[in-house]
Amino acid sequence: MLSRVFGLGRRSFDTLSEQEILALAISSEEDDARIYRAYGDGLREEFPQSAKIFDEMADEEDGHRAALIDMHRKRFGERIPLIRREHVRGYYERKPDWLVRPLGVDHVRRMAEEMERQAQRYYAEAAKRTTDAATRKLLGDLAAAEQSHEDLAHKLGLKHTPGEVREEEHQTERRQFILTYIQPGLAGLMDGSVSTLAPIFAAAFATHDTWQTFLVGLAASVGAGISMGFTEVASDDGRLSGRGSPIKRGLATGIMTTVGGLGHALPYLIPHFSTATAVAIAIVFVELWAIAWIQNRFMDTPFWRASFQVVLGGALVFAAGVLIGSG
């Protein structure tokens, strides 16, 4: 662990021989080609046109690798030393595709442009370290190629994803985000904010004990969060509905359910009953309007209709809790 943090056990770039410089370039091009193909595979189902961008970029990297291998074969023979980017101190790193893929197609395009910039800087520095004229020319040519490819993702994007295709992909990406995170999270927030109103305020007005009310609210919120989360996971695996990973949806639902309930349970940590209740009611008001705003912003529900539905439902549940607690 410490060796990775402080670069212990890694070679300095300045100590690499010309053969090792070529070997490092070869392994880097192989890795980059695999990364681009992984990006393409990750995008192919939902963004087939953008996937073609990364297929072509992978082909570009294969061409660079072939030229480097030919040069190595001419100068040093068939045996290529095993040296990779993680063996060299200060060398740029690549994030695995599973860390990048969920961040969206535009982010992946930007990552590809950054990869091209990093490769260009490497070839420019490597060319300075070589004395063989042919090798220096090759590395210089590759540096120039990478520099010209710095906007390759953008150029290929214009070729494969014209305006109407990009807009369609953007809408698909937005729809997937809403189905996987917003919709389950909104359902959880509504359930946590509204369904826990009755037990929390019933306990508050029945006992006038802020600590006992907080414990009831905590239990109701956590219990509802667990229940809603598991229900979401078990109800739909996402394959037919296209709603995405059940784990992600379950986490979004469970966490937001718990947050919704805790919002008006936490004020009862205040020992003064009237103050705690006033703060809790104010938070309930904010929660209900937040739900209405989310419905309007992401679900295209007219704001006043969403407000009426949420506020009316919340008011009825709140009144039920107060009446039961005061009875």
pLDDT tens per residue, range 113-155: 778 888 888 888 888 888 889 889 998 888 887 776 655 555 5
Model confidence over 164-205: pLDDT tens digits? 555 665 666 677 777 788 888 888 888 888 878 888 888 888
pLDDT at 47: 75
Q: How confident is the model at residue 39 (pLDDT cuts 50, 70, 90)?
A: confident
Same domain, 216 and 147: no
Domain boundary among 104, 126, 161: 161
Q: What is the pLDDT of residues 223-241, one digit of tens each?
A: 988 988 888 888 777 765 5
Residues 156 and 172 in one domain: no
Domain of 96, CATH number, reads 1.20.1260.10
Question: Which two structure tokens, joined as six digits, stand for 160?
Answer: 């494969």
| Domain count of the fold of the chain | 2
The reply to whether 74 and 205 lie within a common domain is no
- Shared-domain flag, residues 42 and 181: no
pLDDT in tens, 259-291: 988 988 899 999 998 899 899 888 888 888 888
Question: Following CA atoms 264, 268, 270, 273 in sequence, which dihedral angle do they give, to the nearest 10 degrees?
Answer: 110
Q: What pLDDT shows up at residue 111?
A: 77
| Claim to verify: residue 178 and residue 46 sit in the same structural domain | no
Domain co-membership, 208 together with 120: no
- Give 80-126 pLDDT, tens digit per residue: 988 888 888 767 666 665 555 555 666 777 777 778 888 888 888 88
Domain that holds residue 134: 2-161
pTM confidence score:
0.50
Bridge partners (DSSP) listed for residue 88: 11
> Of 161, 192, 207, which marks where a domain is finished?
161
Question: What's the token pair of residue 46?
Answer: 């939902």
